[in-house]
């Protein structure tokens, strides 16, 4: 039963991301979001470590010390900040790179959908912001990406989906500056 439950979970998640992406005009990204989750490397690990209340990648990491499925996933999906790191010619170390806005917006949809999927009826508009603030990940992403993501997740928490999605569609995806970028 775990493979079937995992299949239903990832399909529900993809559907929710797709809906969000369509609402802001990211049609292609919505259609192809997380297709790698159906690849054998990711799917069978997800089925094996399936719990239904959190990502199976966390359980795989706890069991064997790393997640092979996650390493496969983050390297193929540009909506993950982990994808956006490269060797700096100055420091000769891997460092985070600012995410292009279209993938930043898809990341917002991904986080919203993950919270909706795993929290079910306990989901609320501030769920993604709460998860983000409680995690260490914000220290690992590019500072500009971190600031933009925090701003958008705060807007989602405080102003709701309708206002946030309009902002994403009309401002962020059109390359308009964030409020702190225009302040002098």
The confidence score (pLDDT) of residue 184 equals: 54
The CA distance from 148 to 172, in Å, is 10
SS3 104: helix
The CA distance from 22 to 42, in Å, is 25
124 — alpha (psi -120 to 50), left (phi > 0) or beta?
A: beta
Q: What integer best gives the mean pLDDT of the chain?
A: 96
Provide the greatest CA pair distance for the chain: 58
Helix axes 40-48, 2-24, angle to 10 degrees: 120
Spatial contact of 110 and 21, defined as CB atoms under 8 Å apart: no
The confidence score (pLDDT) of residue 138 equals: 83
Closest CA to 82 of 60, 59, 57: 57
The confidence score (pLDDT) of residue 139 equals: 86
The confidence score (pLDDT) of residue 11 equals: 98
> Taking the C-alpha atoms of 93, 88, 86 and 115 in order, what is their torsion angle to the nearest 10 degrees?
80
The confidence score (pLDDT) of residue 56 equals: 95
pTM of the model: 0.94
Structure tokens given for 98: 């600012």
Residue stretches of the chain with pLDDT short of 50: none
């Amino acid at each position: 039963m775990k493979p079937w439950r995992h299949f239903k979970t990832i399909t529900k998640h993809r559907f929710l991301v797709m809906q969000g992406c369509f609402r802001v005009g990211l049609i292609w990204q919505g259609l192809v979001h997380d297709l790698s989750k159906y690849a054998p490397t990711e799917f069978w690990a997800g089925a094996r470590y399936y719990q239904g209340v959190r990502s199976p990648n966390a359980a795989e990491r706890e069991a064997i010390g790393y997640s092979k499925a996650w390493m496969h996933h983050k390297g193929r999906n540009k909506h993950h900040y982990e994808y956006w790191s490269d060797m700096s010619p100055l420091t000769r170390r891997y460092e985070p790179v600012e995410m292009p806005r279209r993938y930043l917006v898809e990341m917002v949809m991904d986080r919203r959908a993950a919270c909706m999927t795993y929290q079910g009826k306990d989901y609320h508009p501030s769920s993604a912001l709460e998860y983000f603030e409680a995690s260490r990940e914000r220290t690992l992403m590019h500072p500009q990406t971190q600031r933009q993501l925090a701003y958008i997740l705060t807007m989602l928490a405080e102003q709701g989906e309708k206002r946030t999605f309009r902002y994403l569609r009309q401002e962020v995806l059109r390359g308009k500056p964030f409020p702190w970028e225009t302040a002098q």
